Amino acid sequence: MNDNKKIHYERGTEELRKKNFRAHKLVQEYNNCEIEDSTKKEEIIKELFGGVGFNPSIEHNFHCDLGYNIHVGDNFYAGYNCTILDMAEVKIGHNCMIGPNVGIYTAGHSIEPKDRNKSGYGIPITLGNDVWIAGSCVILPGVTIGDNSIVAAGSVVTKDVPANTIVAGNPAKILKNI
């Protein structure tokens, strides 16, 4: 985990509230689009995200915190119920697939109970090119997943994943090299 890039924030500030409301309105509009209106969906994603490559596809019931911290490459696909908590930057490479019910969480809170609910932090997450995150996985703050890697269904990724590997489990461990 790269704590050098840790971003601290105060919950409930007016600036953060405005940014969150903007994202939630766009997410609500996206999730309520007509299923076959791919043009409108792509327009909303391009307005919501900080960067979008060619041919993005995200199934309904998508959620995020701010949106503008999310950057996806060409041919990005996210399955149903994808949640990206983007209090810090999330960079996703080209040709990445995210299965249903996946959570990508840059956000966290202090382990100290006093005022835990008043502030938090975000640590960037990076997914390389040609990464496949299977269904019901969780990617935790500060993780980098290398090119061509696969995260098996139901895994919780707590540490970086080298390129060209398959990981599985909770916490995820390397099963084999590709």
* CA dist., res. 104 & res. 67, Å (int): 13
Round to whole Å and give the CA distance between 19 and 164.
36
The string of pLDDT tens digits covering residues 133-151 is: 999 999 999 999 999 999 9
39-63 CB burial, b ≥16 within 10 A, e <16: eebbebbeebbeebbeebebeeebb
Q: Which range marks the domain in which residue 89 is found?
A: 3-177
Q: How many domains does the chain have?
A: 1
Does the structure show a pLDDT above 80 at 9?
yes
What is the C-alpha separation between 27 and 151, in angstroms, rounded?
26
Kindly report the CATH number assigned to the domain that includes residue 156: 2.160.10.10
The Cα 124–Cα 99 span in angstroms is 20
CA distance 153 to 122: 25
Q: Is 71 labeled as catalytic in the residue annotation?
A: no
Adjacent-strand bridge partners of 97: 77, 132
pTM, full prediction: 0.94
CB within 8 Å of 63: residues ≥ 6 apart = 27, 82, 83, 84
DSSP element (H, E) containing 29? helix 14-31
Instruction: Give the confidence band of 38 by pLDDT, cuts at 50, 70, 90.
Output: very high
The pLDDT tens digits of the residues spanning 87-113 come to 999 999 999 999 999 999 999 988 888
Mean pLDDT, to the nearest integer, of 162-174? 98
What are the structure tokens assigned to 14, written together? 């007016």
